[in-house]
Each structure stands twice: as structure tokens, then as C-alpha cells.
Amino acid sequence: LAISKGNHRHFMLKEIYEQPVVVAQTLRAYLRRLDGEVALPTENFDLAAVKRVTIVACGTSYYAGLVAKYWFEQFARVPVDIDFASEFRYREPVLEPGGLALFISQSGETADTLAALRHARLGGQTIAVVVNVPTSTMAREADLLLSTHAGPEIGVASTKAFTCQLAVLAAFAANLARAKGRLTRDEERRIVRHLSEAPAALAAALAYDEAIEAMAPLVAVARDVLYLGRGVDYPLALEGALKLKEISYIHAEAYAAGEMKHGPIALIDDSVPVIVIAPSGPLFDKTVSNMQEVQARGGRVILISDYDGIQAAGDDCLATITMPKVHPLIAPLVYAVPVQLLAYHVAVAKGTDVDQPRNLAKSVTVE
Ligand code: G6P
């Protein structure tokens, strides 16, 4: 079956634009909206007995896992280990009975992730997978299959699979929290309501596309770019830096905003754009004070926040990107959009092969 780019110049852009629809599709599979319940196919699993979750993945899927670590620990109060699949087996992880191992993969075929899955199986873990290809090897080898319904992803740099992974993982975190007796009916209802708001918020985020395109030249001239974020925005910063590297070939690094002063601040000068991801919320002031440390050293900041955040801290920035104001639970999904669009437009400005970047493969089936 041939898949077309439709009216879009690249598959990547098409896939970025599909996110409101495919996230809605994915959520539909895991939420009972009218009852205000999360509904994952976990009936045959004793989630209440889960003592530890081990998350393993590669690339963008790993960053979705890193966001999930915050959610699982915050909502379900279950400790989470997370590893790159290529590191997992070789560090001789301690896998105790009652452990749940969660593998995240768009393709369901990535060699390192699959090898890690089999290692966890030998270690007696219950195997859950979040995959986008329901016929994939990982899907077949799982105890608990949680499919993302993103549809085929053609662009080598993952976009819509990432936000769909986040949607499933948020629902899973709530499901685990409920099983652990950590969620009241009211809290569950609220979570379902906030998640249901994600598709419209993603659509609103896409409305900033042209403005991001207009600021892309500011980043396209840079040799190095820094991304900063705190809490769940730290994995998003990592994802932003990865996207930019993958498709524009600009060197980019991400740091937890508070860690910047322990090294990367030495890199700051006016030639290094610093992308700060900071939705307004409990961590906003802390991130802004790190941002001001950058500005005090002549660093030029592109601030991604909502209207309130931009009003409070946007004045001295090189540029700002205004996102809709959303509940913190869905902010990682919504803020993925500007991060993807920025990388996309910078790559287009540089004239690189966006859908087929050099040296990269969509699915890496060698170790
Ligand atoms: C490759 C792709 C990335 C992807 C990673 C993991 O490196 O270029 O976009 O995130 O593999 O792939 P998976 O299919 O396991 O999610």
C-alpha cells in the first residue's frame, strides 16, 4: 500500500500534522470517556503486586519512557528504572520477582530493544510493550500489548509515534495508580478529562507553525544549540536536541535546566541559541531563573511557554513560542509539537533530506 505525503512537502510534516487525529485514535482505545475511566487490557495482570517497573527503549521511544518514569513514580508511587536498550543487558540489571518490564518501540523490531525484552523475560519479568506495529516481533513476544494507533510512520525521525506513546503511557500510569489504590474516582475522572483535551491542544499548538518557520533561520545559522527543561520538560529538551541533530545536523545538547550551571553554562555566548521549554506551573520560576543565568552571560534564548509564561519572562528573549495553556499532564504531548516543528523548519532552511537523514535508519535491526 503506497502512502502519500498528501499536500505536505515531507512525510515528517504530514506526520506532525496528523498528531491531533492519531492521538485521539490512540486515546479512544484506552479511555472510557463517558465513565471517566482509563481502560487498559490489564484484567489478567496483578498490577497491584508490581513492585518495580523497568523501562527500556532506544532513541525517541526512550525519551517517551523518560517522561513515563516521572508519571509512574508520581501517580503510582512505583519505583522506575530506565535504560537505553543497548545498555540494559550489559549492566547486569537486578530483576526481582514481581517486576514489570516495559519496552517502548515504534517499529517493535529494534534489535537492542528486542534483545533486552528477551533478557527481561529470562529474568522472570512480566513483559509489557508499547509498539506501533501490532504484527511486530515485540508485539508477539509480549504478555501485555499496548498498541499506539499512530498509523505507519515513514519519516525516519519519529514524531507522531512519540506523542501516541505518551498518550498510552499516561493512561497506563493512571491504570497502575488505580491498581495500587493511589487514585480516587475523582482523580481518575480528572485525568481522563485532561487526556481527552490533548487532541484539541495539539491542534492549537500546530497553529504556531508559521511563526516557528519564520524564526527557523535564527537557529539554522548556529553551530551548537542547547535545550533546557525541568521535570517532564527535561526529556522533551532531550527529544528536541535529538530531533535537531537527526535532521538538521546541527550539534545540539539538552540539559536539565538546574544542571546547566555544572558545566554547559561555560558554552554560553551569543552564538549558541538556547531553547527553553517551560510551561507555566510549579517548576516555571526555577526554570526561568536558570534561563536568566543564560541571559546574564549574553546567551540568546528562545522561550517555549504559554501566554502567562511568555508575559512573565519573555521580554529579553530572542524569540518566543506561545503554546495553549494546558494541564501539566498533557504538556509533554503539546510541547512536543513546537520542538518537532522547529527541528523540521531548521532542516528545511538548511536544505537537508528531512525524511531520509544521512546515516540514519527508520528501524535499526542490528546491535
Ligand atoms: C531509530 C530511528 C528513531 C527511533 C529509534 C527507535 O534510531 O531513527 O527515530 O526513535 O530508532 O526506534 P523504535 O522503532 O524502537 O521506536
Neighbours of 362 (CB within 10 A): 15
239 phi/psi in degrees, rounded to 5: -65, -40
Rounded CA separation 70/50 (Å):
17
Q: What is the pLDDT of residue 1?
A: 60
- CB of residue 363 inside a 6 A radius of ligand 1: yes
Instruction: Supply φ then ψ for residue 148, to 5 degrees.
Output: -90, 145
The question of whether 180 is a catalytic residue gets the answer no
Ligand 1 center from residue 220 Cα (angstroms): 24
CB-side neighbour CA atoms (13 Å) of 276: 35
> Is the whole model's pTM more than 0.95, yes or no?
yes
Bridge-based pairing of strands 52-57 and 80-84 is: parallel
Rounded Cα distance, 363 and 318, in Å = 37
Residue 363's pLDDT is 84
Does ligand 1 have an atom closer than 6 angstroms to the CB of 60? yes
Q: Is the CB of 330 under 6 A from ligand 1?
A: no
300 Cα: distance to centroid of ligand 1 (angstroms): 31
Ligand 1 atom closest to residue 157's alpha carbon, by position in its atom list: 9
CB atoms near residue 116 (< 10 Å): 26
Gyration radius of the chain's alpha carbons:
20
Q: Is 157 a pocket residue for ligand 1 (Cβ < 6 Å)?
A: yes
pLDDT at 4: 86
Amino acid identity of 90? Answer: Y
Mutate to test the pocket of ligand 1, among 16, 103, 147, 363 (most ligand atoms within 8 A of CB): 363
Rounded Cα distance between 165 and 227, Å, is: 22
- Give the CB-side neighbour count of residue 339, counting CA atoms within 13 A: 39
Ligand 1: atom nearest CA of 361 is: 8
pLDDT tens per residue, the chain (367 residues)? Answer: 678 888 899 999 999 999 999 999 999 999 999 999 999 999 999 999 999 999 999 999 999 999 999 999 999 999 999 999 999 999 989 999 889 999 999 999 999 999 999 999 999 999 999 999 999 999 999 999 999 999 999 988 999 999 999 999 999 999 999 999 999 999 999 999 999 999 999 999 999 999 999 999 999 999 999 999 999 999 999 999 999 999 999 999 999 999 988 988 888 999 999 999 999 999 999 999 999 999 999 999 999 999 999 999 999 999 999 999 999 999 999 999 999 999 999 999 999 988 888 888 888 888 8
What whole-number distance in Å separates Cα of residue 162 and Cα of residue 51?
A: 26
Strand arrangement, sheet containing 319-323: 251-256, 224-229, 273-277, 300-306, 319-323
